[in-house]
Amino acid sequence: MNCLKGVIGLSVGVGVEASSGLYVDALPDISLPFGRNITDKGNDEVLKMWEDVENRALKKFRTLFIRQLNHCFKISDIAVSECLICNNKEILSTALWYFMGAELLTESLGSHRINRHTTIDRSRNKEMREELESVFMRELEVAVAGIDVAHSDCIEGKAEQRDLIEFHTPII
């Protein structure tokens, strides 16, 4: 999953560049000083915190991507799933952006890095995390639906399409 490292950045003065142009602290309620306020120890600790958040988020993202993908295709090979993620990271970047925002809020709620800044409004952080996770799931659903799995170089006959029943309303 190294292909997703650095897709989403953190601009809180530490300059973690984003290849997608998406920065987690641009999301609602994640202000510029947010990352620095999680810790009072300076840039090195903020960078370590971001690395931890990114690593956790990418592992969870892969699992949730596979679950969403398997609504339409039966793909049990993790290497194939990771290949699909890497080949479609532009399509998936918005979903990943919201997911990493939710993971950053999770960090602020349950981390040993908690300090006076992160305990001010824990209920608002919980609400915002839930909202970001909800947006993430919708974005992931749309993104996965936009991936052309059947013609992907990753598949080579390794995907079995599920029998989906579709109901169409006639156009009158």
Q: pLDDT tens-digit profile of 45-85?
A: 888 888 999 999 999 999 999 999 999 888 888 999 999 99
Query: With bands split at pLDDT 50, 70 and 90, how would you rate the model's confidence at 131?
Result: very high
* Residue reference for tokens 């609504």: 71
Look up the pTM and report it: 0.82
E-state strands within 21-164:
22-23, 73-74, 160-161
CA angle in degrees (0–180, nearest 5) for 156-8-50: 120
